[in-house]
Amino acid sequence: MSKEQNIDLEKERKEILNAFKGLLRSHKTRTKEDTRIIRKAFDVSVDAHSQMRRKSGEPYIYHPIAVARICADEMGLGTTAIVCALLHDTVEDTHITLEDIEDLFGAEVRLIIDGLTKIPEVFDETISIQAENFRKMVLTISDDIRVVLIKLADRLHNMRTLGSMPHDKQLKIASETKFLYAPLAHRLGLYSVKTELEDLAFLYTEPKIYEEIENKLKLTKDARTRFIRKFTQPIREALLHEGYIFKIKVRTKAISSIWRKMTTKGVPFEEVYDIFAIRIIVDTPPELEKPDCWRIYSLVTDFYQPSPDRLRDWISTPRANGYESLHTTVMSRTGKWVEVQIRSERMDEVAEKGLAAHYRYKESKKGDNKFDRWVSEIRELMENPELDAMDFINEFKLNLFTDEIYIFTPQGDLRVLPTGATILDFAYDIHTDIGDKCIGAKVNNRLVPLSHQLESGNQVEIITSTKQKPNDEWLKYVVTSRAKQKIKTSLNEVRRAIALDGKEILDRKFKQHHIRFISENVSVLEKFFKMPNATELYFRIAKGKIDLRKLREIENKNGILHLEKKPSVRKMKKSQTIFTKIDSKKDTILIGDDFKNIDYTMAACCSPIPGDKVFGFVTINDGIKIHRYSCPNAEHLLSKMAYRCIKATWKNTDLKENLASITVHGIDSMGIVNKITNIVTHEHNVNMKSISFETNDGIFVGNMKVLVFDTEHLDTLMRKFEQVEGVQRVVRHVEE
């Protein structure tokens, strides 16, 4: 037996060495010194993790090697990042200390490992710890961006190997990935990483839909390949004739993106026209990139008619994360719209490897400056002492905007803002003082109010007044975190100035009543008037909202105030009493059985029925609500409040009717409503609670609520609807 184990260990050692050699091959520009230092890091990591195994049973060392390979292969990072990726778990999980790391690899590697060690898995037991840990990670953006890039590589490998984790852990990690890590990858320009993170998260949160779309992509692959070959042939010949050195790639849309399009546009898979995009990548020197891309655009449109609404020039104005490309959508000869992306080799590497590629292409100053500006905005967020950890996460999410608009100043300077930005956002983007004093603006010479939403291409002139001051209403007019933060800071300054007046009023009142002005007496007043802090107390006194005549009701002993001690009856929130009874990691609610005498009900937002994959969420005052994993609120609950989520499953009980909502889309024709209602009432003996049909220009949408036993019963009913002539799509509806 021991001989077999030895053989296994020997085989493992060889496989580990092969994985390491694969890593070295992926770092194509390494020198002998690079190889030596990477080998040293590998040896240290192998030794430190020698007794550790992953959930899948494989040796732990495979994980750091895989993370290092993602850094080298998919992000194009250099030797230092590879060394740090190999060592990223050593300080946290093994006997190795930061001092050991510095002795062996130097101060720079220590700094990065320290940054990585400060970030445990982002979401922990309580909401404040979750938020604080994420805040720590983002802090490192301004120290060394490689910390965040390695952490993204670490997350990507964990998502690729998520299959070995328990189901509830899979869903929590997937929700967290979709909520923060994928947008962060997008903001850093790592498109391929962002796409894969989104797809892997989708695979675990919506496995049925994922498999359905994946199968449809496989079934249509041959027809797509034939179409692409025909479509690209004349373009290829023209480019060769013009003497260009180029590649033509085909990018198939991510499964999660296809689903997003299907739901937002309300169309079936067959009607998503941009399932793929043609990408033309030209090998050309930096000074010829722009003219060459436009010449190639001209060649493409010689063969195919472009849609004027679908031209996107991100070469003249790169996106905030440095992305540059020329996009157009053209009509093929078979009547299909096709997206064509035109870019240089350099632009393509920046598009795929994002920020990491900027280090190599320093001439791309536009992208770097925009990124530096974003980092400085993040730094401003960090330095705001009034922002608690949860507010920070919400504000940071605002900074990860994906859609941008381009606004011009009166002098013709370009500013990039998120879609939905207003006059006030633009004013604060220019300068805090301009924002604080803004009273309106001229957009393309037309006078507009502060709340006016801007559109790409607008030229904006801000109008200011020295008498203007921010007010609470302004917070409703802005979408950027920068503007929100600046308005809150101004409001707090005004509040503090008013509070000082209140403090003086209280001081005078204390003197009248022979009360000493000391912090203990102020604390007694805070409790008596139920105020959260002294500033709020002073503010309300200044505004006349607190009746200081009530001072007579408080006992005054030699200038010291005393409140009468009443027997305290401490009320616990319902959620606190629930937490004392449950273990959210081990307990499972068996729906249909009593659960520790705790009330649980079906959430109205997604109306779960037997057969749905569900979880319980501990509310503050309404007991436990059962949600579907596909509920619109699930991602938010599982990622931001995972500690309040509890496993749940259905008990096989007697058949019981449950409410489900269905939406039917189709082409309006005589008798179609009759056919649908007949199915409900006769063929399946299903009780209908409500039904409504709307028709518009020959298209109908029917919404109905029916009582069914479980998901199988519901699926059978929906399949019957799909067979009715004229019906195009049937979906289970959830409340937003």
Please provide the DSSP assignment of 254-278 as one string.
PHHHHHHHHHHHT--GGG-TTSEEE
482 exposed, middle or buried (CB, 10 Å; 0-12, 13-18, 19+)? buried
On the question of pLDDT at 1 being above 60, the answer is no
Domains 214-362 and 658-733 fall in the same CATH topology: no
**Which member of 15, 47, 93, 271 is catalytic?**
93
131 CA to centre of own chain = 14
Q: Looking at 450-548, which runs of residues are DSSP E strands?
A: 460-464
Q: Report the alpha-carbon distance of residue 276 to residue 254 in Å, rounded.
A: 9
Q: What residue ranges do the domains of the chain occupy?
A: 214-362, 489-562, 574-650, 658-733
Predicted confidence at residue 236, as pLDDT, reads 94
HSE-CB at 702 with a 13 A cutoff on CA atoms is 26
Which has the minimum average pLDDT: 5-19, 442-456, 607-621, 632-646?
5-19
CA 500/CA 477 separation, integer angstroms: 29
* Token reading at 604: 């109205």
Least reliable range by pLDDT among 253-257, 579-583, 692-696? 579-583
Both tokens of residue 225? Answer: 């390949």
- Give the tens place of pLDDT for each residue, 184-223: 888 777 888 889 999 999 999 888 889 999 999 999 889 8
Helices marked H in 242-388: 255-265, 289-303, 345-353, 355-358, 365-382
| Residue 732 DSSP SS3 | strand
Percentage of the chain beyond pLDDT 70 is 84
Give percent helix, percent strand, percent coil of the chain, each to the nearest 5.
55, 15, 30
For residue 566, report the phi and psi dihedrals to the nearest 5 degrees: -100, 150
Q: How far apart are CA 706 and CA 685, in angstroms?
A: 11
β pairing state of 337-344 and 326-331: antiparallel
Known catalytic membership, residue 92: yes
Could you tell me the pLDDT band of residue 402, with boundaries at 50, 70 and 90?
low
Q: Are strands 305-306 and 326-331 parallel, antiparallel or unpaired?
A: antiparallel
What mean pLDDT value characterizes the chain? 81
Alpha-carbon span 147 to 138, nearest angstrom: 9
Residue 576, number of CB atoms within 10 A of its CB: 11
* Residue in the structure block whose two tokens are 């195009």: 728
Cβ atoms of 619 and 600 closer than 8 Å: no
DSSP 280: E
CA distances (Å), 528 to each of 162, 472, 542, 546, 733, in order? 54, 28, 17, 11, 50
CA-CA distance, 69 to 77, in Å (whole number)? 10
Q: Do residues 318 and 324 touch, judged by C-beta distance below 8 A?
A: yes
Cβ proximity of 606 and 632 under 8 Å: yes
SS (H, E, C) 658-718: EEEEEEEEEECCCCHHHHHHHHHHHHCCCEEEEEEEEEECCEEEEEEEEEECCHHHHHHHH
pLDDT tens by residue, 242-281: 999 999 999 888 999 898 888 887 788 888 878 889 999 9
363 is catalytic: no
pLDDT over threshold 80, residue 608 = yes
| Helix, strand, or coil (residue 33) | helix
Question: pLDDT higher for 671 or 719?
Answer: 719
pLDDT of residue 5: 46
Q: What is the CATH number of domain 658-733?
A: 3.30.70.260
CB 610 within 8 A of CB 581: no
Rounded Cα distance between 626 and 646, Å, is 9
Tell me the two tokens of residue 567: 């027997």
Q: What is the pLDDT of residues 119-147, one digit of tens each?
A: 544 444 444 444 555 555 565 555 677 88
Averaged pLDDT, 163-176: 83
In this structure, the strands spanning 588-591 and 560-562 are: unpaired
Using the predicted structure, report yes or no on whether residue 284 has a pLDDT greater than 80: yes
Q: CA angle, corner 327, sides to 324 and 331, nearest 5?
A: 170
Q: Of 174-183, 291-300, 372-381, where does the model show the most confidence? A: 291-300
Cα distance between residue 106 and residue 294, in whole Å: 48
> What DSSP designation does 415 have?
E
Pick the CATH number of 214-362 from 3.30.460.10, 3.40.50.300, 1.20.58.1910, 3.40.1160.10: 3.30.460.10
Cβ–Cβ contacts within 10 Å for residue 19, how many? 17
Active site residue: 10, 43, 92, 599, which one?
92
**How many C-beta neighbours within 10 Å does residue 134 have?**
21
Return the pLDDT at 243.
92
Q: Which residues contact 338 (CB under 8 A, 6 or more apart)?
A: 231, 276, 277, 278, 304, 329, 330, 331, 332
Beta strands 624-628 and 614-618, pairing class: antiparallel
User: Mean pLDDT throughout 275-288?
Assistant: 92
Read off the pLDDT band of 25 (50, 70, 90): confident
What is the pLDDT, as a whole number, of residue 579? 66
What tokens were used for 95?
């006997």
Q: What is the mean pLDDT of residues 531-549?
A: 85
| pLDDT higher than 70, residue 393 | no
**Tokens read off for 123:** 């979401």
* Structure tokens given for 690: 């409500």
CA dihedral 55, 58, 60, 66 (to 10 degrees): -110
Residue 364 has pLDDT above 60, yes or no: no
In the prediction, which pLDDT does 192 show?
Answer: 85
Is 70 exceeded by the pLDDT of residue 386? no
Q: CA dist 406 to 169, 183, 307, 454, Å?
A: 41, 21, 21, 9
Q: What residues form DSSP beta bridges with 443?
A: 446, 460
Which pairs from 206-215 meet CB under 8 Å and 24+ separation? 206/259, 206/630, 209/259, 210/255, 213/255, 213/258, 213/259, 213/269, 214/255
Cα 644 to Cα 631: distance, rounded to the nearest angstrom: 16
Strand order in the sheet with 446-448: 446-448, 438-443, 460-464
Separation in Å, CA 313 to CA 173, 320, 371, 501: 36, 14, 19, 55
Strand-pair partners of 661: 705, 733
Neighbours of 699 (CB within 10 A): 12
Angle (CA) 124-127-132 rounded to 5° is 75
Average pLDDT value for residue range 466-472: 87
- Rounded to the nearest 10°, the torsion over CA 154, 156, 162, 166 is 60
Q: Which residue would you say has higher pLDDT here, 236 or 593?
A: 236
